[in-house]
A and B are shown apart, each in its own frame.
Chain A
Amino acid sequence: MIPASFEYERPANLDAAVRVLQDGGEDAKVLAGGQSLLPVLRLRLSYPELLVDLGGLAELRGIREDGDAIVIGSMTTHDEVLKSELVRQHAPLLAQATATVGDRQVRHLGTFGGSLSHADPAGDLPTIALTLDAQLHATGPGGPRVIPASEFFLDYLTTALRPGEILTAIRIPKLGAGWSTHYEKFDRVAQAWSIVGVAAAVRRSNGSIAEARVGLTNMGTTPLRASLVEDELSGAAASAATVASASRSVTEGTHAPNDLAGHADYRNHLAQVLTRRAVLAAAGI
């Protein structure tokens, strides 16, 4: 299939990109790595009149350390994230999940920021951003602003980015000592989309779980935090029985989709199993 016609701009800097995107209005769309957008265009599920290609913006690429966080440029590819020592050291959960995104070809072009902005509820990286309490930096006609991950994902394929706004960087707080993480993903083998995915971050202290965070992929129209499970785990004994019991609460507040990959009932069951596995693995139990 061939996409419908569109105009194409490849701005040389961020200011120009914001301007061109704003001028394009509602019919303009940002092109990052294109690994979600191009299939959508080819299937003619979307008809933008203007594509603003951020591929020329070196300023949006790269990973750096900034005090108690690492900052990842939005146009950094999955492959670059995977090869980053900073990510491996300070956000191993992101490295683990990124390794499961698409395949080598997709990871060579697809970008971290593109994946977050696309906001597919079956995508893994929005869940990771939410679980790690990432801060999303955007720039638009109104200047730069910071959006917490918890306020970024609004609905199916819908984010808090305003018209003309571009996601520029993702700031991920380093997990301190005592934290460990795990991403448990159940997918269709040759496709790599999560049927359900569960991210867990756990801080152990003296035989108990001091703090826990649990993020869910594809259990609603946005990535979700399983706050009831988090509350039940915090301060609980670090035992298999406690984790299994808390994991049963994971479906509270979720709205699992029904689709060809699985019914909601199946996903609800899967979410409980994967939560138990993810928390146990993260907690080293």
Chain B
Amino acid sequence: MTRVSVTVDGVSYQDEVEPRLLLVHYLRERLGKVGTVVGCDTSNCGACTVLLDGRSVKSCSVLAVQVTDRTITTIEGLAAEDGTLHPVQQAFHDNHALQCGFCTPGMVLAACDLLSENADPSEDEIREGIEGNLCRCTGYQNIVRAVQAAASEGRASSASTGATTGVTS
């Protein structure tokens, strides 16, 4: 067993884990963060995407022990404490950017990562930016629309408050 010490959605955890434990299984089975889903289990689909120190990674392709002393944000850590949705979540809701919803947690976090680096992406840049995430329902049009809406909302609010849509920590 190896000790892992990690901050997930603002809470610090210390656990003894088997080195072979994948981050996605640690999140779901140890911490109960079942908002992070297992899709393909072969690192193609991106459904298990989380943010590691603000950057998107596929949690099925990371060992829990690799993220010791790092910070993880899952889909469950995006909304404000009072339940107010993160602007990207709100944009997905407003634009009906889901069909079955299984890819949504990963799509939202991939979009957060993209927007944290590029606040004003073109449609092509959005499509390329979420290339690591598959929507098996093929509902990409509304997903792209939602990312565009979140980007323009983010630019509007950063102009007024200095905040950004992306998550950086």
Residues of A that sit less than 8 Å from B by CB: 1-8, 10, 31, 34-35, 38-39, 41-43, 51, 53, 55, 79, 102-106, 108-109, 190-192
Contacts and interface: CB of A to CB of B under 8 A. Distances in A.
A104 B44 contact: no
B65 A38 contact: no
B2 A191 contact: no
Interface stretch (B55-63, B92-100, B157-165): B55-63
A35 B22 contact: no
Interface of B: 2, 18-20, 22, 25, 41-44, 46, 49, 52, 55-58, 60-63, 65-66, 68, 110, 113-114, 129, 131-134
B136 to A, nearest CB: 11
B114 A104 contact: yes
Given A38-B43, A39-B43, A190-B134, A4 B20 contact: yes
Given A34-B63, A53-B66, A104 B129 contact: yes
B56 A1 contact: no
Nearest to A77: B55
A34 B62 contact: yes
Nearest to B67: A55
Contacts of A39: 42-43, 61
Nearest to B134: A190
B131 A103 contact: yes
B110 A42 contact: no
A34 B55 CA distance: 16
B46 A105 contact: yes
